[in-house]
Structure 1
Amino acid sequence: MRPSLFEFAGGEPAFLALARAHHERCLADPELNHPFSHPDQHPQHVERLAAYWAEVMGGPPRYSQSCGDHTGMLVMHAGNGDMSDLGRRFVDCFVRAADDADLPADPGFRAALRAYMEWAVGQVLSYPGAEPVPAGLPMPHWSWEGLRTEV
Structure 2
Amino acid sequence: MQSVYEAVGGTEGLLRLAEAWHHRVMADEMVSHAFSQGFHPQHSERLAAYWAEALGGPTVYSDSYGDETSVVRLHSGHGPHEEMDRRAIACFDQALEDVGLNASEPLRQVLHDYFAWATRTTMSHYHESADDVPEGLGIPQWSWDGLRR
Q: TM-score, normalised by structure 1?
A: 0.91
Match of 1:128 in 2: 127
1:35 alignment partner AA:
A
How far did residue 34 of structure 1 move?
Answer: 1.9
Mean alpha-carbon deviation: is it higher for 13-22 or for 110-119? 110-119
Aligned ranges 1:79-118 → 2 under 5 Å? 79-103=77-101, 107-118=105-116
Match of 1:140 in 2: 140
> Partners in 2 of 1:57 and 1:95 — Cα distance?
17
Q: TM-score, normalised by structure 2?
A: 0.92
Aligned ranges 1:20-59 → 2 under 5 Å? 20-39=19-38, 41-59=39-57
Q: 1:99-149: CA deviations, max 9, x gaps? A: 112247553212211111111112221111126111111111100000112
| Alpha-carbon contact 2:25-2:32 (below 8 Å) kept | yes
Match of 1:3 in 2: 2
In angstroms, what is the RMSD of aligned CA positions? 1.5
Mean alpha-carbon deviation: is it higher for 129-138 or for 62-71? 129-138
Structure 2, gaps ≥5 residues long: none
Structure 1, gaps ≥5 residues long: none
Match of 1:69 in 2: 67
How far did residue 31 of structure 1 move?
Answer: 0.7
Share of identical aligned residues, percent?
44
Q: 1:44-64: CA deviations, max 9, x gaps? A: 111100110111111111101
Number of residue equivalences? 147
